């Protein structure tokens, strides 16, 4: 009798655990649906920057960035040399006429150069901003054609994402970007190997401003950046956003960030300076 009661109790516990787990999964799924609906435009599709906004958090099945850096030295970077008190400012998802010109104005005022990673569709739509970025001495990098998750693409689709953007940029300015940053930072080892074999250097980051997350204030953005900042850091910010996204916090934080870095003795440099690499990809 006692054994039967124990078995019954175990069975009830298993059922309760299953029901709780199912409810949690349903709740997570519902929250995700609400978030996606909130940033979907009237046509029912996500803008590229909105995809970025929802995807910067790394997936649990991601390949370790540290392992990729160890496996592909000189072709995959999270940061520059730690012995030099230098940092690089990088801006993703440009060009965006709402935000990129304001960021360029601030950089010009403070005589600072940065690196901008361009989305191909946006560069094609706003060539005048691409020309301004280049004209004012900033470095241009490749950020894919339409902000897909590179690690989920077939080899041919991945190649097209890179080549199409390279073609668009080189048509606007006489420039073939050397640096490639995958959307969300996600790439498979085979994709890094392909990039290396085709003359690209993959650059992610070690300091995330998290300016893509819930339209944060400048105070939050500055706090996020200073958490992991150190010599050789590559700082991630954004110069483009989705329909519902505001980068006012980024724009407000940028002058304060520049002043703070300079007061602490950091030299703000471009990626070619930090990594001691050429700005343009060698054409083979």
| Nearest residue to 62 (alpha-carbon basis) of 182, 221, 165 | 182
Q: Record the tokens describing residue 130, joined without a space.
A: 């691409």
| Nearest residue to 121 (alpha-carbon basis) of 186, 59, 52 | 52
Can 238 be counted among the known catalytic residues?
A: yes
Bridge partners (DSSP) of residue 236 are 90, 208
Out of 143, 176, 178, 238, the active site residue is 238
Distance CA 261, CA 193 (A): 34
Q: Record the tokens describing residue 132, joined without a space.
A: 């301004």
User: Is-contact 50 245, C-beta < 8 A?
Assistant: yes
Q: Record the tokens describing residue 21, joined without a space.
A: 């787990």
User: Is-contact 168 124, C-beta < 8 A?
Assistant: yes
Contacts of 281 (CB under 8 A, 6+ apart): 166, 176, 177, 178, 199, 200
Q: Scan for tokens 């073939």, then name that residue.
A: 176
Helix (H, G, I), strand (E, B) or coil at 43: coil
Can 134 be counted among the known catalytic residues?
A: no
Q: Scan for tokens 């250097």, then name that residue.
A: 201
Out of 92, 96, 166, 211, the active site residue is 92
List residues with catalytic annotation: 92, 238
């Amino acid at each position: 009798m006692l054994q039967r009661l124990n078995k019954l109790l175990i069975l009830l516990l298993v059922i309760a655990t299953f029901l709780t787990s199912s409810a949690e999964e349903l709740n997570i799924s519902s929250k995700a649906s609400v978030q996606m609906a909130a940033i979907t435009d009237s046509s029912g599709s996500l803008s590229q920057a909105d995809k970025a906004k929802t995807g910067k958090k790394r997936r649990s099945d991601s390949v370790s960035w540290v392992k990729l850096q160890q496996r592909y030295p000189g072709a995959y970077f999270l940061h520059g040399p730690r012995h030099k008190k230098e940092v690089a400012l990088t801006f993703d998802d440009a060009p965006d006429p709402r935000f990129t010109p304001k960021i360029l104005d601030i950089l010009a005022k403070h005589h600072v150069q940065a690196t901008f990673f361009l989305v191909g569709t946006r560069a094609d739509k706003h060539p005048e901003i691409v020309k301004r970025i280049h004209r004012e001495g900033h470095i241009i990098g490749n950020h894919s054609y339409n902000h897909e998750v590179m690690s989920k693409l077939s080899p041919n689709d991945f190649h097209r994402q890179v080549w199409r953007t390279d073609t668009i940029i080189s048509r606007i300015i006489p420039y073939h970007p050397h640096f490639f940053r995958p959307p969300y930072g996600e790439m498979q080892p085979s994709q890094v190997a392909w990039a290396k074999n085709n003359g690209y250097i993959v650059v992610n980051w070690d300091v995330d401003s998290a300016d893509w997350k819930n339209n944060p204030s400048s105070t939050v953005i500055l706090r996020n950046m200073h958490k992991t900042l150190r010599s050789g850091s590559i700082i991630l910010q954004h110069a483009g956003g989705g329909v519902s996204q505001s980068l006012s916090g980024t724009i407000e934080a940028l002058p304060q960030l520049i002043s703070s870095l300079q007061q602490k003795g950091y030299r703000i440099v471009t990626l070619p300076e930090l990594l001691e690499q050429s700005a343009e990809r060698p054409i083979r």
